A and B are shown apart, each in its own frame.
Chain A
Amino acid sequence: MTALADIAQPMSETCSVAERMLKARKTVIWSIVGAGIVLAVLVLAGLGFGAVKISPAESLSIGLAKLGLPTLTDFSTRDDLILSAIRAPRTALGVMAGGALALSGAALQGLFRNPLADPTLIGVSSGAALGAVAVIVLGPPVAALLPPVLQAGLLPVAAFVGGLAAICIVYLIARHDGGTNIATLLLAGAAVTAISGAGIGLFIFLGDDQQIRDINFWLLGSLSGAHWQALAPATLLIGIGMVGVLRFGAALDALSLGEADAHNLGFDPEKLKRRLIVCCALATGAAVSLTGVIGFVGLVTPHIVRMLIGPGHRALLPTSLLLGGALMLAADILSRTVAAPAELPIGIVTAAIGGPFFLWLLLRGRAHGGW
Chain B
Amino acid sequence: MDQANVSVAPGKVTAIVGPNGAGKSTLLQALTGRVSMETGDVTLDREALQALSRPDIARRVSVLQQHFQSAFAFRAFEIVAMGRAPHEGRESQATAAVFVEQAMAEAGVLDLAERPIDQLSGGERQRVFLARALAQILPLHASQPRYLLLDEPTSSLDLRHQRTTLGFARKIAAGGVGVLCVLHDLNLTARFADHAIILQAGTMVASGPPAAIFTDQTISEVYGPGLSIFLDPETGAPVILPLADDISPAGAVPSLWALAAEAAQVGDGR
Footprint of B on A, CB under 8 Å?
1-2, 5, 8-9, 11-12, 15-18, 20-22, 24-25, 110, 113-115, 250, 253-254, 256-258, 260-261, 263-268, 306, 310-312, 369-371
Question: How far in angstroms is the closest Cβ of chain B from A18?
Answer: 4
Q: How far is the CA of A250 from the CA of B84 in the complex (A)?
A: 10
B23 close to chain A: CB less than 8 A: no
Q: How far is the CA of A267 from the CA of B34 in the complex (A)?
A: 11
B37 close to chain A: CB less than 8 A: no
B69 and A16 within 8 A (CB):
no
Residue in B closest to A267 when the chains form the complex, CB atoms = B54
B69 and A265 within 8 A (CB):
no
Contact with A along B17-43 (1 / 0, CB 8 A): 000000000000000101000000000
B118 and A370 within 8 A (CB):
yes
Q: How far is the CA of A276 from the CA of B32 in the complex (A)?
A: 24
A17 and B110 within 8 A (CB):
yes
Q: How far is the CA of A5 from the CA of B119 in the complex (A)?
A: 10
A18 and B94 within 8 A (CB):
yes
Residue in B closest to A20 when the chains form the complex, CB atoms = B77
B138 close to chain A: CB less than 8 A: no
B8 close to chain A: CB less than 8 A: no
Question: How far in angstroms is the closest Cβ of chain A from B58?
Answer: 3
Interface of chain B residues 64 through 103 with chain A (CB within 8 A):
65, 67, 69-75, 77-79, 81-83, 85-86, 88, 93-94, 96-98, 100-101
Residue in B closest to A316 when the chains form the complex, CB atoms = B72
B32 and A263 within 8 A (CB):
yes
Q: How far is the CA of A9 from the CA of B98 in the complex (A)?
A: 21
**Secondary structure dominating the interface of B:** helix
* A residues in contact with B115, CB < 8 Å: 5
* B residues in contact with A15, CB < 8 Å: 113-114
B173 close to chain A: CB less than 8 A: no
B54 and A253 within 8 A (CB):
no
25 A/B residue pairs, CB under 8 Å, sorted by A: A2-B119, A5-B75, A5-B119, A16-B97, A17-B110, A20-B114, A21-B77, A21-B81, A21-B93, A21-B100, A24-B78, A250-B82, A253-B85, A256-B74, A257-B69, A258-B69, A264-B61, A264-B62, A264-B136, A266-B55, A310-B74, A311-B73, A312-B78, A369-B118, A370-B73
Q: How far is the CA of A115 from the CA of B114 in the complex (A)?
A: 22
Question: How far in angstroms is the closest Cβ of chain A from B151?
Answer: 9
Residue in A closest to B54 when the chains form the complex, CB atoms = A266
A261 and B86 within 8 A (CB):
no
* B residues in contact with A8, CB < 8 Å: 114
